[in-house]
Chain A
Amino acid sequence: MITLKDGTKLVFKELFETYYTAACLFSNRYLNDIELSKDIVQDSFLGIWQVDKTYEDINYIKTHLFQIIKSKALNELKHQKVVNKVHGEIINQKESDNFFKTIYIEQETKRLIVDAVNSLHGLSKEICLLSLQGYKNPEIAESLNCSLDTVKYHKKDAYKKMRAQLKGFAYMTIILSNIFFN
């Protein structure tokens, strides 16, 4: 009924593209097993896709997704404990709200950084990366063999783009609905 071509799935695909990587890395903080983490994340996305629901904004989906991943990962750990692979203390520590908070904030911050940097292309990206690693404008100009003005222009342009991208996220409303395909 729903094929790769239909558009609702395109929207879902964008969600997937936005959060899959961050979700896998998040899950891996619980499991220390990247293949298992991917598996759990894919199942969690499936769960979200199969329930027809409208979300108020992107943050709600994200929260929902990460909660599902958390509980699936913890279940997996508990199962591993039964077969004596994981120590009980580790589970207690990973079950705590503080652990969730730490890895959630870390992964989300990293995701925003990656998104912002990857939204740039070519010279803008190179200049931005060097600048973020602490190089001064003249050093960047020299290492990329371009003028100081070019560096300044691209830096300004890059920040403007990244800002616009961030702003776009806050107010987004998602309609994940299959109503036209039933």
Chain B
Amino acid sequence: MNNNSQKYNQISELIYKVKLGKASDAEFSKVEAWTLQSDENKRIYDELISLNIEDILQENESIDLLEGWDALNKKLYPKKKFKVKYLDILRYAAVLLLPISLAVYLFVNYAYHANEQLSVVNKIKPGDFKAVLYTSNGRVYTLDKQVEDKFIESEGVHITESGKLLDYSKIDSLVELEDVAEEVSYSVIKTPRGGEYNVVLSDGTKVTLNAESEFKYPIKFGEKYREVYLLGGEAFFEVAHNASNPFIVYSGDMKTKVLGTSFNVRAYKNEGVISTTLVEGKVQIESDNNKSLKMIMSPNQQSIYSISDATVSVRKVNVNHHIAWKDGRFVFYKKTLGTILDDISRWYDVKLFYQNGDVQDMLFTGNMNKYENIETALNMLEKTNKVKFNIKNNTVLVIKKY
């Protein structure tokens, strides 16, 4: 039956192509051969080809997806009513006490040993809060969780939350900088592979930087524009609203202009594209190399700007997949293994070596906690039985499974 269904999937795909006028000659002949196999097949084909597209769409709209999802959730988490007598509770508690204490003992014991083992075997660590700050007056600061909360005077900036955040929005930083406010001076923050960092800009805009990213910004914004530069990597912006002072992100020759909104920009150089994903509000994208390109995006859209030919395509996406990184997860939906592993290698700071290049194009869907160790992440991908990984020192060997 399984086998049959695969056949049915194939023939459905072929008929779909014929119906939309996209079938090649070879594909068309395949469908024709299939219809000649039986009257049944011919009937199915004729029925589908004669259907009106509008009718199909209408039939489809008769089913409410949201209502279905809600109903499913109600079934998944039914509200139970408990009526337990006090004596019963005591009885259960007494019965459960022994196994629970045993389980806790075993677990603690196990966790203790598991930890011991890990510290020997596993040297590759997930990323953490790390960055390097290059200030406008030429000084360099290394930022990580070891750094204590402090105030860098020349920058007018606070390092807070145990070295996880740079905050330019505190009042006294503005006081400090009043005399230099005429000229906009820029600082640069760089996250290494295996690093991430948060910056709050002087207007209160929150920026989360992913691993291997470079971000240039003024320590205090000018009067007319708020201009910042994502020189590489990936960042999530939650822009403080200010209608009279637009916020502009430059990334390569692409420009994203916003008033107040949250969105993600991904501009890793090796990918050749800059993807902008809009969570809420409105943004406008423009290109220096293609003046005719000027587009306004709405929420849940992602624009993919191709750097080589300065063109853009827009698609609807589930934004959660594209911003999950800032909430500590790797979520990928129909993504190529190449992209997934690039993200993993950036985060765990490992090198990749492909035994067979073509595995990079395989598509995967999945979800993982990015603070787990690398083995857990790779094991999960291995569970699909499509690929295998071998970790040696700092290199992950990617092997295709047949």
Nearest-CB distance from B317 to chain A (Å)?
11
Is the Cβ of A106 less than 8 Å from the Cβ of B366? no
A107 vs B381: C-alpha distance in the bound complex, in angstroms?
31
Q: Tell me the bound Cα distance from A39 to B365 in angstroms.
A: 27
Binary interface encoding of chain B residues 1-28 relative to chain A, with 1 for a CB under 8 A from any of its CBs, else 0: 1101110110111011101111000000
Min C-beta distance of A56 to chain B, whole Å:
7
For the A-B complex, the count of residue pairs with Cβ-Cβ distances under 8 Å equals 186
Selected from B48, B54, B76, B321, the residue in CB contact (under 8 A) with A106 is B48
Within the complex, the shortest CB–CB distance from A50 to chain B, in Å, comes to 8
A166 to B15, CA, bound (A): 13
Nearest to B69 among chain A residues (CB) is A16
Chain B residues, Cβ within 8 Å of A159: 20, 22
What range describes how many residues of A lie at the interface? Answer: 35 or more
Inter-subunit contact B8/A172 (CB<8 Å): no
Q: Does A45 lie within 8 Å of B72, measured CB to CB?
A: yes
What chain B residues lie within 8 Å of A16 (beta carbons)? Answer: 65, 68-69, 72
- Determine whether the beta carbon of A177 is less than 8 Å from that of B366: yes
Q: A133 and B52 in contact (CB under 8 A), knowing A20-B65, A175-B364?
A: yes
Contact present for A24 and B63 (CB under 8 Å): yes
Residues of B in contact (CB 8 Å), total 69
Q: Choose from A4, A62, A97, A180 the contact partner of B372 (Cβ within 8 Å).
A: A180
> Could you list some 19 contacts between A and B, CB below 8 A?
A10-B320, A10-B367, A16-B65, A17-B69, A34-B62, A38-B63, A41-B68, A46-B72, A63-B2, A101-B8, A104-B12, A110-B56, A112-B16, A113-B16, A113-B20, A132-B20, A171-B363, A173-B362, A180-B372
A binding-site residues for B, Cβ under 8 Å? 4, 6-8, 10-11, 13-14, 16-17, 20-21, 24-25, 34, 38-39, 41-43, 45-46, 49, 54, 56, 59-60, 62-63, 66-67, 97-98, 101-102, 104-106, 108-110, 112-114, 116-119, 121, 129, 132-133, 159, 161-163, 166, 168-169, 171-175, 177, 179-180
Closest A-B pairs by Cβ, 9 of them: A175-B366, A108-B12, A7-B367, A112-B16, A63-B5, A21-B63, A109-B12, A172-B363, A173-B384
